[in-house]
A and B are shown apart, each in its own frame.
Chain A
Amino acid sequence: MSEILELKNISKSYGETKVLDNISFKINNNEFFTILGSSGSGKSTIIRMIGGFVKPTSGQIFYENNIINEQPIFKRPFNTVFQDYALFPNMNVSNNVGFGLKIKNVNILKIKEKVQEVLQIVGLENFSDRMPQELSGGQQQRVALARAIICEPKVILLDEPLGALDAELRKQMQLFLKEIQKKIKISFIFITHDQEEAIFLSDRIAVLNNHKFEQIGSPKDLYYSPKTTYMAKFFGECNLIACKVVDKKMDSIVVESEFGQLLINHSIDKSIGDSLTFGIRPEEIKILDQSSSNSIEVIIKDVEFRGSTSNLNVKSQHSEKYLKIQNISSNISQPFQQDDVINVELNTGVGTIFKDETIS
């Protein structure tokens, strides 16, 4: 895949306040790239920098290997879909959509043709004479998208475009965005604070935390191989267990934890006596019918019924912390009860070892 856009060592401060601290990433052609972060994390600042509305304090922005830091907004081959749509209130739908072409002095007949074509893509071909104020939120959103698409930009920047929509419409628009992106083959840089939305839409996600990227990768990467404990807890739930290495074998280590001794199938350059954090997702813990050499015995303290799955909060005899186990409800012939004692296996070869030892 060829890359189209690169941000290199970008920092941005407003006076004393640091918003972005030395971030770098690349965008590939035809990619749906999501920047995920809580509000105020500086995620909008990133696409505003790409769009040209703000200048980075330091660092370079490359477009097709040329630095575009100083290029004015109107010359950049990107278009933005703003959070609250920013449609021109003095123009009807087709004039809004055709505006970008009008500015580029495209022939009027050609504009008309293109506008119809794009309106068809976003499913608003019967609304061309309406004023923006006469449209619903979802429809305005489609117009804003059409207005960006028509200019055939290399990258479309979407600044929390679904933020103002209600849950139902949001779902619809997510599907719609994903379809459109596949159809028109333009890179999307999408901003959101909604993890589910990010996982559903994206080819790759960059998680922004504390002015820096915590991790960049495909949704599966982020879920199954989180690099930090923050990331492990960011998507879904994760049991984090503090351990001490007590023995080292060829391709596994034995650690001591508050749940007893665990055998972890990871080769890692830690020596005996070192501490580490072992992370395992609730659904990765196996419930055994009978005890085995690798299993530990735990007591169920609480059963959370979640429909198709159930969460068990369990404790071992000596542990202070709870362990969360997810079980598919229909798999259990006899539902678990509070205070049942069960045998579980943690060392199934899955799970992640984190070098940072902070467990929050």
Chain B
Amino acid sequence: MWNLIPVLEQYLKMRQLVNYFRTSIWTLIRFVLVISLILIPLGSFLSYSFFTVDGTDIIHEFSLFNYQEFLTGEIYIKTFIRTILLALTVMFICILLGYPVAYFLARYAGKYKYSILLMLIIPLFMSYIIKIYMMRSILGFSGLINKVLKMLGVIEKPLEFFLWNQNAVIITLVVILLPLIIIPTFTSLEKIPKNIIEASFDLGCKPFQAFRYVIFPIGLPGLIVGSIFVFILALGDFVTPQLVGGTSGFTYGKIIYSNFGMAFNWPFGAALASILLIVSVIIILFTNRLTEKSKT
């Protein structure tokens, strides 16, 4: 009878080898996916920002010209800062409107909370463009608001406050982005176990103190996530200013868009977009640090 042990050893070695190959193939697939779908597009995007154009031809040579243009052309930095302020305004209005809604839903809406939440989510399924047009017909010179005010005799001439300016952009963005702040805030508030709130009352908290020391801090990560969503989307948006912003509602996103779509200056557009990307990443990292800190 021949010895079994060497055969067994051989078999185990084979198994090991097969396992090794299997894990390495999966790892490879994961890397390929990340590289081909995220890193390569980002890389090409970044590298384009270092090219220049001559007429409609792209010159594939390294140059910092686009970034110099951004820093020296006053209009770009000005628009950039104005757009950041606009996005911040939209974000703060969304927090002011969205937090109470999320709080009410999570704590007091009882068995209706998911149906109400669903109603708030439904607008997200609608086309973004349609929502903007809808806002235009509400805010416009002969829109719903002006018509009603005129009928009531409050105004003589239609108000210009609502359309073709920065206010219109802010109002429209708030309407569109509001669900994005309500959903994560609701989720994190709703997750707070009831007995943790009870414990705070038990230890002597009045209702406001329970909110201040327990409910708000525990729900904060959700609010921050929602705020980042709103801020980033408002920052990069270019359709809303195009459709309701008129001439004074010019934003950074619209400049990027026009560089790609109308001026055919892809390298400059890529440079502007890269700057936006970097600033966005910095903001996300910064707020991440803030949430980490708030935990201790």
A residues with a Cβ closer than 8 A to B are 51-53, 72-74, 78-80, 82-84, 86-90, 92, 99-100, 102-104, 131, 147, 151
Number of chain B residues close to chain A: CB under 8 A: 20
Report the bound CA distance from A224 to B209 in whole Å: 50
Residues in A neighbouring B218, C-beta threshold 8 A: 88-90
User: Per-position contact with A for B170-203: 1 when CB-CB < 8 Å, else 0?
Assistant: 0000000000000000000000010110111111
Which residue of B193, B201, B296 contacts A73 across the interface (Cβ within 8 Å)?
B201
Chief secondary structure at chain B's binding surface: helix
Across the interface, do B203 and A147 meet the contact criterion of CB distance under 8 Å?
Answer: yes
Interchain nearest-CB distance for A254 vs B (Å): 58
Across the interface, do B204 and A100 meet the contact criterion of CB distance under 8 Å?
Answer: yes
B residues with a Cβ closer than 8 A to A are 193, 195-196, 198-206, 209, 213-214, 217-218, 294-296
Interchain nearest-CB distance for A17 vs B (Å): 18
Chief secondary structure at chain A's binding surface: loop
Q: Decide yes or no: A82 and B201 within 8 Å by CB, A89-B218, A99-B213, A103-B209 being known contacts.
A: no
How many A-B pairs have beta carbons closer than 8 Å: the answer is 64
Which residue of A80, A83, A87, A104 contacts B202 across the interface (Cβ within 8 Å)?
A80
25 example contacts (A-B, Cβ-Cβ < 8 A) are as follows A73-B198, A73-B202, A74-B202, A74-B203, A78-B202, A79-B202, A80-B202, A82-B198, A82-B199, A84-B195, A86-B193, A86-B196, A86-B198, A88-B196, A88-B199, A88-B214, A89-B218, A90-B214, A99-B203, A99-B213, A100-B203, A103-B205, A104-B204, A147-B203, A151-B204
Residues in A neighbouring B193, C-beta threshold 8 A: 84, 86
Residues in B neighbouring A51, C-beta threshold 8 A: 202
Q: Decide yes or no: A151 and B199 within 8 Å by CB, A89-B218, A90-B218, A90-B294 being known contacts.
A: no
Across the interface, do A74 and B196 meet the contact criterion of CB distance under 8 Å?
Answer: no
Report the bound CA distance from A53 to B218 in whole Å: 22
Which residue of A83, A84, A92, A151 contacts B203 across the interface (Cβ within 8 Å)?
A151
Q: Decide yes or no: A88 and B200 within 8 Å by CB, A82-B195, A99-B213 being known contacts.
A: yes
Q: Decide yes or no: A86 and B295 within 8 Å by CB, A74-B204, A103-B209 being known contacts.
A: no
